[in-house]
Amino acid sequence: LAKTTQPISMDSYEGQEVNITCSHNNIATNDYITWYQQFPSQGPRFIIQGYKTKVTNEVASLFIPADRKSSTLSLPRVSLSDTAVYYCLVGDGNYGQNFVFGPGTRLSVLP
Amino acid sequence: NAGVTQTPKFQVLKTGQSMTLQCAQDMNHNSMYWYRQDPGMGLRLIYYSASEGTTDKGEVPNGYNVSRLNKREFSLRLESAAPSQTSVYFCASSAAGLPNQPQHFGDGTRLSIL
């Protein structure tokens, strides 16, 4: 399983862009990179997924360099409601058993 | 637009009691999963069901059993609850047949074992 490393916590202010980087040095050829968001008392929610280069949706962007050994989740102009834990997962998605949720990054958005 | 529904939302048990956590999804997903989440930690996979009629162990299966009742429902049973099983339990589902289908999670069952 590809192990991931991300910062334990980050602080930001409303309106700023937040970038959370995840390291996955032993990512395999078939592995995708997936990010989830979890609010207190709720289950994780899928944010974005990518394999290489850049992926953008209405919520976030995901930047993946050519060597794929890291990835960066970018949240544009965060608000207080973006305060949550963000998980980076790496795996080939084989029925989910290869996905490992680490402790994630606890993002606190301040007014 | 229910998605994944878990029942109950809260439960307190005494050591040695048994309990079944229920999970149902209405998205016609083939794959379903059970995770536990301990304070300050990520989720750990207990069991999963790739498709109706199949179940497999995840990272932490000891002390648990599962049943894939039909395509919609996947239950988790604690036969003899132990304090170490105090946790928040999440059920999830995903489409199958394509790689890396996102998992959709329920809001969890908070289980305390005294």
Residue B98 has pLDDT above 80, yes or no: no
Give B10's strand partners.
B110
B99 pLDDT more than 60: no
Q: In this complex, do A45 and B105 lie within 8 Å of one another by their Cβ atoms? A: yes
Residue A14 CB neighbours (<10 A) = 13
How remote is the C-alpha of A93 from its chain's centroid?
16
pLDDT-derived band at B59 (thresholds 50, 70, 90) equals: confident
pLDDT in tens, A4-27: 899 999 999 999 999 999 999 988
Tokens of A3: 């192990």
Q: What is the CA radius of gyration of chain A?
A: 13
A92 touching chain B per CB within 8 A: yes
Chain A hits for B93, Cβ within 8 Å? none
Could you tell me if B106 and B23 are in contact, meaning their C-beta atoms sit under 8 angstroms apart?
yes
Mean pLDDT of all residues in A75-80? 95
Residues B32-51 pLDDT 10s: 999 999 987 788 889 999 88
Top-confidence residue, B107 or A90: B107
CB-nearest partner of B42 from A30, A87, A96? A87
Q: Mean pLDDT, to the nearest integer, of B62-90?
A: 96
The average confidence (pLDDT) of chain A is 90
Residue from A99, A100, A105, A106 to probe the interface with B (highest B Cβ count within 10 Å): A99
Q: Which of A91, A111, A87 has the alpha carbon at shortest distance from A101?
A: A87
Sheet of A45-50: strand order equals A9-13, A105-110, A84-91, A32-38, A45-50
For the stretch A86-103, pLDDT in tens is 999 887 766 555 567 778
3-state DSSP percent of chain A in helix, strand and coil, to 5: 5, 50, 50
Indicate if the pLDDT at residue B11 is higher than 80: yes
A42 and B CB contact within 8 Å = yes
For B96, counting Cβ atoms within 10 Å of its Cβ (0-12 exposed, 13-18 middle, 19+ buried), the class is: middle
**What is the pLDDT at residue A31?**
85
Instruction: Report yes or no: A26 at the B interface, CB cutoff 8 Å.
Output: no
Q: For residues A30-44, give the mean pLDDT.
A: 91
C-alpha closest to that of A101 among A36, A22, A56:
A36
